[in-house]
Amino acid sequence: MERQQVDAELQQVVELRHPEPHRVLGIHQDGDAVVIRTWRPDAKRLHVLPEFGGRVPMEHRLGGIFEARLNGRSETFNYLLEVEYPGNQSFTLRDPYSFLPTLGEMDLYFVGEGRHEQMWHRMGAHPMHHGGIGGVSFSVWAPTATSVSVVGDFNSWDGRLHAMRRMGASGIWEIFIPEVNEGTRYKFEIRPGHGGPPLLKSDPFAFRTEVPPATASVVHDLRHFRWEDEQWMTGRAAKQPDHQPWSVYEVHLGSWRRVPEDGDRPLSYRELAHSLADYVKRMGFTHVELMPVSEHPFGGSWGYQVGNYYAPTARFGHPDDFRYLVNHLHQEGIGVLLDWVPGHFPTDAHALGRFDGTALYEHADPRQGTQPDWGTYVFNFGRNEVRNFLIANALFWLEEYHIDGLRVDAVASMLYLDYSRQPGEWVPNRWGGRENEEAIHFLRELNDTVRRKQPGAVMIAEESTAWPKVSQPTSEGGLGFHFKWNMGWMHDTLLYFSKDPIYRKYHHNQLTFGLLYAFSEHFMLPLSHDEVVHGKGSLYGKMPGDEWQKRANLRALLAWMWAHPGKKLLFMGGEFGQTSEWNNDRSLDWHLLQSPGHAGLQAMMADVNRLYRNHTALYDADGEPLGFQWLQPDSSATNVLAFVRRARQPGGHVVCVANLSPEVRQGYRVGFPRHGSYVEVLNTDAQDYGGSGVGNMGRIHTESFPWDGQEASAMLTLPPLSVLWFTPG
């Protein structure tokens, strides 16, 4: 390279606008000599320490760039730099510009195509040995940037010292920095192509972060943790989710239980591992669903505005502490689901928004790229790299953290271009319609990829509209989710149970209407956090009547829900009748369990879960009409409903009878599938649960008297505000 050209490129380096500083910095063959150049803007003098010995002085060339020429050398070699600063401060270090790229051509190709399914193995910060030297490989996607530098604890956050190289047309920038260690804080300093001040961004692929409100990324090695859940993972892969019991306990880690004697702090991941597992196991839930744990800037967003998609929040500990939590739950036989938020992301300056100075992860047009409901950006699902970022992220949690499934938040906001927008505030698709074709393609690709790469893991949609085939295979025109939250059932059921019993006969169809569409999707019935915030009160608070009646209604609601077709999800606190609305900044009101009424409700919930898991009829045909039959859907005048749940194999069934009035009904006839003895396995009015103790003495005998379309029937005593379950005895 001619000296004049070298000088021009070195000037670009000094001005932080060279796209590939490795071209002129580092070690290079130059005829029959080797030239070593480095940029140390504030240094007083430098020496090269070649691996074969000696101490070669470097001359200042321009703008803090120093150069040494070793004549008679026919090949490059390893070396150290001895840097002396004013005040006699001296450091010996390896030159980051003497290393080849750590990314290969195939990596760049698959990222560009949007098909790098494990791109977290290559992007971000990775401790490694490269050229026999330990350090960290850094890479980031910033296609329109003029230049990008890594800044951090290792270089006093000085963006001049570690400018990265651009990897061709990929838009990815890379550098290997030797002798950087795990636990080091860092960010990317990005100089936008349109000019203006540099942007200081956290790493989109960071595996670890500082504790908020600090926002630096932290170098973390994913390879240290040793999993001990092989038995769980092997068994999970062999199961068919549709035919398994799903009783999911939704948890916000920061407010489930706190430590009042230690400043009311939340439990750490490791503390939660044992206390949460013990509680969930005792209560009989099959899974926990964790509200988003991906790092988020604002705790009040509950994790639904994600800043770092590849890092569990540092609020509760180290990433391997979170792995410990998952590992321990699996060892105790408890599945782990995560809330996952691909629909939007926050506008915080350090995060993904306007990442390289342009709309990179989001649409440039605010009619497509912003979400007015939450004041957030919306992902550009039409961009290969963005789809790849998100699909790889889903696989990341399933693979690296052994998560058993993802509940995809706010799917409706992704499917509809006009979601929460007025006319003129959205851009129609190419056909003039409101469907977001790019998001539909993304969701189908996402679900197909998860099914292919992670057998046994489930994808669950929170989708609040009548979009068809959400939980049907993509090969049949569906979106490919395993389950869909049944928001209509939730709304109708809570509305019914909130009514004073005297008015319930006018709302009877709100408990029966859902069965008209119950088998159109594979549904999960959610009583989630969304129903106990923003002035909605607690589940307990929604129930009518005095304290006794509130608890009785809540017991009946939960037993009704667990007998109804569909998988189950209950937000924490509902199982013991939390009286106040959920507050993410304080613990659940565990002291309520000192009251026999609340302790009885909790005991009933544990029994309901045990019975649910033990009776196949309650879950294995959830998505099939053969699993459900009405016995009495029309007894609105008495507030009584009855149905039978059946297993796919002949013979197994459970009869559910609900009396949702405050009156005891003696001698009330209900049809049963066969003649003989039935055990009253559940009575929500049992005294042990805080009820009045009215019932059928634990057992009934049917008679050969056809009723409700069945060959047999029995005269029952129906307790007030109660649900009864009967099984053949």
| The two three-digit tokens of residue 445, written as one number | 């690709």
User: What pLDDT is recorded for position 1?
Assistant: 66
Q: pLDDT of 484-501, one tens digit each?
A: 999 999 999 999 999 999
User: What pLDDT is recorded for position 13?
Assistant: 93
Own/partner contacts of 357-360, CB < 8 Å, gap of 24 or more, are 357/144, 357/145, 357/190, 357/192, 357/193, 357/194, 357/196, 357/199, 358/144, 358/192, 358/193, 358/194, 360/141, 360/142, 360/143, 360/144
Average confidence score pLDDT of the chain: 95
| The two three-digit tokens of residue 671, written as one number | 């049809």
User: What pLDDT is recorded for position 696?
Assistant: 97
pLDDT bracket for residue 32 (50, 70, 90): confident
User: What pLDDT is recorded for position 136?
Assistant: 97
Beta-carbon contacts of 502 under 8 Å, excluding residues fewer than 6 positions away, are: none
Angle between helices 269-283 and 596-614 (to 10 degrees): 80
pLDDT bracket for residue 6 (50, 70, 90): confident
Pick left, alpha or beta for residue 723 (phi over 0 → left; psi -120 to 50 → alpha; otherwise beta): beta
What are the start and end residues of each CATH 2.60.40.1180 domain in the chain?
625-728
Residue 192 has pLDDT above 90, yes or no: yes
Q: pLDDT of 616-648, one tens digit each?
A: 999 999 999 999 999 999 999 999 999 999 999
CATH node for 3-98: 2.60.40.10
Mean pLDDT, rounded, for 256-261? 94
Percent of the chain residues past pLDDT 70, beyond the cut = 100
CA-wise closest residue to 563 among 520, 518, 600: 518
- Contact status, residue 359 vs residue 418, Cβ threshold 8 Å: no
Give the burial class of 460: count Cβ atoms within 10 A of its Cβ; 0-12 exposed, 13-18 middle, 19 or more buried: buried
CA-wise closest residue to 300 among 322, 315, 317, 319: 315
- Number of neighbouring beta carbons within 10 Å of residue 503: 10
User: What pLDDT is recorded for position 174?
Assistant: 97
Rg for the chain, CA atoms, rounded: 31
Rounded-to-integer distance, Cα 715 and Cα 632, Å = 14
Beta-carbon contacts of 370 under 8 Å, excluding residues fewer than 6 positions away, are: 362, 376, 377, 378
Mean pLDDT, rounded, for 569-593? 97
Say whether 409 is catalytic: yes
Own/partner contacts of 232-240, CB < 8 Å, gap of 24 or more, are 232/330, 232/331, 232/333, 233/330, 233/402, 236/335, 236/404, 236/456, 236/457, 237/455, 237/456, 238/456, 239/456
What are the start and end residues of each CATH 2.60.40.10 domain in the chain?
3-98, 105-218
Rounded-to-integer distance, Cα 422 and Cα 348, Å = 26
User: What pLDDT is recorded for position 494?
Assistant: 98
| The two three-digit tokens of residue 616, written as one number | 């196949």
Residue 114 has pLDDT above 80, yes or no: no
pLDDT bracket for residue 518 (50, 70, 90): very high
Architecture per CATH, 625-728: Sandwich (2.60)
320, amino acid identity: D
| The two three-digit tokens of residue 275, written as one number | 């206390």
Residue 113 has pLDDT above 80, yes or no: no
Residue 580 has pLDDT above 90, yes or no: yes
State the catalytic residue, choosing from 462, 620, 622, 708.
462
* Tally of CA atoms within 13 A in the half-sphere of 294 that contains its CB: 27
Mean pLDDT, rounded, for 2-17? 88
Identify the helix (H) or strand (E) that includes residue 452: helix 437-453
Rounded-to-integer distance, Cα 541 and Cα 367, Å = 39
Rounded-to-integer distance, Cα 18 and Cα 62, Å = 15
- Contact status, residue 96 vs residue 104, Cβ threshold 8 Å: no
* Tally of CA atoms within 13 A in the half-sphere of 348 that contains its CB: 21
| The two three-digit tokens of residue 6, written as one number | 């070298």
State the catalytic residue, choosing from 67, 320, 404, 409.
409
Identify the helix (H) or strand (E) that includes residue 476: none
Tell the residue number behind the tokens 């651009």, with chain if given: 166
pLDDT bracket for residue 112 (50, 70, 90): confident
Say whether 462 is catalytic: yes
Identify the helix (H) or strand (E) that includes residue 103: none
pLDDT bracket for residue 148 (50, 70, 90): very high
Mean pLDDT, rounded, for 710-717? 97
> In this structure, which CATH number among 2.60.40.10, 3.40.605.10, 3.30.310.50, 3.90.1150.10 belongs to the domain 105-218?
2.60.40.10
| The two three-digit tokens of residue 618, written as one number | 């309650």
Q: pLDDT of 117-144, one tens digit each?
A: 899 999 999 999 998 999 999 999 999 9
Q: pLDDT of 520-556, one tens digit each?
A: 999 999 999 999 999 999 999 999 999 999 999 999 9
Q: pLDDT of 346-362, one tens digit each?
A: 999 999 999 999 999 99
Tell how far CA 296 is from the center of its chain: 12
Phi, psi of 39 (to 5 degrees): -115, 110
Rounded-to-integer distance, Cα 709 and Cα 725, Å = 19
User: What pLDDT is recorded for position 74?
Assistant: 75
Percent of the chain residues past pLDDT 90, beyond the cut = 91
